[in-house]
């Protein structure tokens, strides 16, 4: 999951997708998950909803994001 294949487009790597999610949450502060996904997919049209969810799951697994009152909140990164 973390290791990139030698022929892989690095823009499709989970760490790059996750960094773009972090940037979006930082700019918005607290944001509802559905709104976050809509904004993300609108800004980055070449990403899929599956990539967004994988990036989000990755950020939750390394404890970078938290959910409070249906809103995604960025922890200290």
Please report the domains of the chain, with CATH numbers, ordered by start residue.
10-74 (1.10.10.10)
Compute the Cα dihedral for 51, 18, 73, 42 and give only its sign. Answer: negative
pTM as predicted: 0.85
On the question of pLDDT at 76 being above 80, the answer is: no
On the question of pLDDT at 51 being above 70, the answer is: yes
Across 18-26, average pLDDT: 93
CA distance 18 to 14: 6
Across 13-23, average pLDDT: 91
Averaged pLDDT of the chain: 87
């Amino acid at each position: 999951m973390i290791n990139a294949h030698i022929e892989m487009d690095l823009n499709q790597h989970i760490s790059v997708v996750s960094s773009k999610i972090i940037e979006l949450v930082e700019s918005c502060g607290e944001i509802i998950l559905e709104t976050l996904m809509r904004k993300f997919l609108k800004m980055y049209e070449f990403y899929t909803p599956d990539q967004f969810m994988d990036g989000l799951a990755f950020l939750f697994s390394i404890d970078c994001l938290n959910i409070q009152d249906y809103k995604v909140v960025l922890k200290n990164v």
